[in-house]
């Protein structure tokens, strides 16, 4: 165990699967909020961290911590502080908490200020109340500026906002309005996602029964992506990852660890981690996860990702960054140049102007970002 756990500070993801109310588009593993179960789960997270420390025989140094969910702010400020106390946190560490806008009240923020959390990620999703209702989100667009003001007044200077597009019956004009509203809030970071639905999501059933209109088709979705990129670039946000934009210096340090294939520890039910050469997924069941921790089982069902598999993961993640992958870094990790054995496919992708290749970097071109899965698939 010790040899897979890095000595240097690491990115840590902590998952809280509890939600107050299910969103209609969601097919993540989630659990209806119950105060007692939530308190027990908090203890489970702490036990899991303690078990890791016991197994590696030392403290865990954190360079970033991300509380995701579910609804991680349900862990309470005291719970979050208790978890963070289990870690040795670097002075410059990025500590992110996802918050559902409905949770932001003066009392909540007062509590939050007692924690070291220094980055907030808000799931706004849309500025159209009708869309918010369709999505099953409880907040209303008009409440958001006041909530942002509360956060700013409390000293939170690093705020990321999430926006969904491709919503039922959404037009380009409606999306443009959403982006304009979002820009008025002057966030440091913006994540935008095309709404896609899994087989088991309640919204898909509603679309299939004709209760709500369908999502954007591929052509409209591509136009929407182009529009979002154009508007955010015009507003001087750096497009640094396929779906992410930031003011200079506010790129998500935590997520950069994922995209750079750096190790990260995942704690909590259904969380996925990467401690090279192992990838692991904690079970999507609190009971099973609890049993594992009780039996001192970490990294259940871990999968070895070495050689070609590790290379594929590296390319899939690294090419999401607009900067692309560094050829020297690739060489250091895999002992060969990224172009070796790929001359034919690289030539084809260069001809179609889907990639750029120079002495130092391989990257996707802007026009390949929306179809990144296809282009990256060619390179694997
Ligand atoms: S989208 Fe997030 S908040 Fe909504 S049900 Fe899914 S996990 Fe919970």
The string of pLDDT tens digits covering residues 166-194 is 999 999 999 999 999 999 999 999 999 99
What's the pLDDT tens digit per position in 191-235? 999 999 998 888 999 999 999 999 999 999 999 999 999 999 999
Whether the bond into 277 is cis, omega within 30 of 0: yes
Average pLDDT over residues 38-58: 98
Name the residue with tokens 């935008």: 192
Looking at 258, 290, 308, the residue that finishes a domain is 258
- Mutate which of 20, 22, 102 for ligand 1? The one with the most ligand atoms within 8 Å of its CB, which is 22
Average pLDDT over residues 100-115: 97
In whole angstroms, give the CA distance from residue 355 to residue 368. Answer: 7
Query: Bridge partners of 199?
Result: none
Shared domain for 216 and 119, answered yes or no, is: yes
Q: Is residue 234 part of a domain?
A: yes
CATH code for the domain of 228: 3.20.20.70
H/E stretch holding 10:
strand 10-16
CA distances from 130 to 126, 133, 135, 210, 337 (A): 9, 5, 9, 17, 51
Looking at 258, 286, 302, the residue that finishes a domain is 258
Is there an atom of ligand 1 within 6 Å of 69 CB?
yes
Cα–ligand 1 centroid distance for 371 (angstroms): 26
The whole-number pLDDT of residue 301 equals 86
Residue pair 271/67 in contact by the 8 Å Cβ criterion? no
CA-nearest residue for atom 5, ligand 1, is 22
Is there an atom of ligand 1 within 6 Å of 26 CB?
yes
The whole-number pLDDT of residue 105 equals 97
Cα–ligand 1 centroid distance for 348 (angstroms): 41
Q: Is residue 10 part of a domain?
A: yes
Q: Is residue 156 part of a domain?
A: yes
Cα–ligand 1 centroid distance for 70 (angstroms): 5
**Mean pLDDT across the chain:** 96
Whether the bond into 66 is cis, omega within 30 of 0: no
Q: Is residue 355 part of a domain?
A: yes
Cα–ligand 1 centroid distance for 215 (angstroms): 19
Domain assignment of residue 346, given as a range: 326-380
CA-nearest residue for atom 6, ligand 1, is 26
Cα–ligand 1 centroid distance for 273 (angstroms): 21
The whole-number pLDDT of residue 361 equals 98
Shared domain for 163 and 50, answered yes or no, is: yes
What's the pLDDT tens digit per position in 138-159? 899 999 999 999 999 999 999 9
Average pLDDT over residues 248-271: 98
Is there an atom of ligand 1 within 6 Å of 29 CB?
no
In whole angstroms, give the CA distance from residue 18 to residue 14. Answer: 13
Which pairing describes strands 355-357 and 159-165: parallel, antiparallel, or unpaired? unpaired
Shared domain for 59 and 189, answered yes or no, is: yes
Residue 2 pLDDT > 70: no
Average pLDDT over residues 292-298: 98
The whole-number pLDDT of residue 3 equals 62
Q: Is residue 320 part of a domain?
A: no
Is there an atom of ligand 1 within 6 Å of 70 CB?
yes
């Amino acid at each position: 165990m010790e040899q897979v756990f890095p000595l240097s500070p690491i990115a840590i993801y902590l998952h809280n699967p509890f939600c107050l109310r299910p969103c209609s588009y969601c097919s993540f593993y989630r659990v209806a909020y119950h105060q007692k179960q939530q308190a027990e789960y908090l203890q489970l997270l702490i036990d899991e961290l303690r078990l890791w420390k016991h197994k590696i025989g030392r403290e865990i140094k954190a360079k970033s911590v991300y509380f995701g969910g579910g609804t991680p702010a349900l862990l309470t400020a005291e719970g979050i502080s208790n978890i963070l106390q289990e870690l040795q946190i670097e002075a410059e560490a990025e500590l992110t908490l996802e918050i559902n806008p409905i949770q932001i009240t003066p009392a909540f923020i007062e509590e939050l200020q007692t924690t070291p959390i220094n980055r907030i990620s808000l799931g706004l999703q849309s500025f159209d109340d009708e869309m918010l209702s369709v999505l099953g989100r409880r907040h209303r667009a008009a409440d958001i500026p006041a909530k942002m003001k509360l956060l700013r007044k409390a000293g939170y200077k690093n705020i990321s906002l999430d926006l969904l597009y491709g919503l039922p019956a959404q037009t380009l004009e409606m999306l443009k309005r959403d982006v304009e509203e979002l820009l008025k809030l002057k966030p440091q970071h913006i994540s935008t996602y095309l709404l896609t639905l899994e087989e088991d999501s309640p919204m898909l059933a509603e679309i299939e029964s004709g209760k709500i209109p369908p999502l954007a088709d591929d052509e409209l979705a591509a136009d929407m992506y182009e529009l979002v990129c154009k508007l955010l670039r015009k507003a001087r946000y750096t497009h640094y990852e396929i779906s992410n934009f930031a003011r200079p210096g506010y790129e998500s340090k935590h997520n950069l660890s994922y995209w750079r294939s750096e190790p990260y520890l995942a704690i909590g039910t259904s969380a996925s981690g990467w401690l090279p050469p192992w990838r692991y997924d904690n079970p999507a069941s609190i009971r099973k996860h609890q049993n594992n921790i009780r039996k001192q089982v970490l990294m259940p069902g871990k999968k070895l990702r070495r050689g070609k598999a590790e290379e594929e993961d590296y390319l899939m993640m690294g090419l999401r960054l607009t900067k692309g992958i560094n050829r020297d870094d690739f060489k250091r990790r895999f002992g060969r140049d990224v172009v070796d054995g790929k001359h034919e496919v690289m030539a084809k992708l260069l001809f179609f102007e889907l990639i750029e290749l120079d002495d130092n970097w391989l990257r996707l071109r802007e026009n390949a970002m929306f179809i990144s899965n296809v282009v990256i698939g060619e390179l694997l």
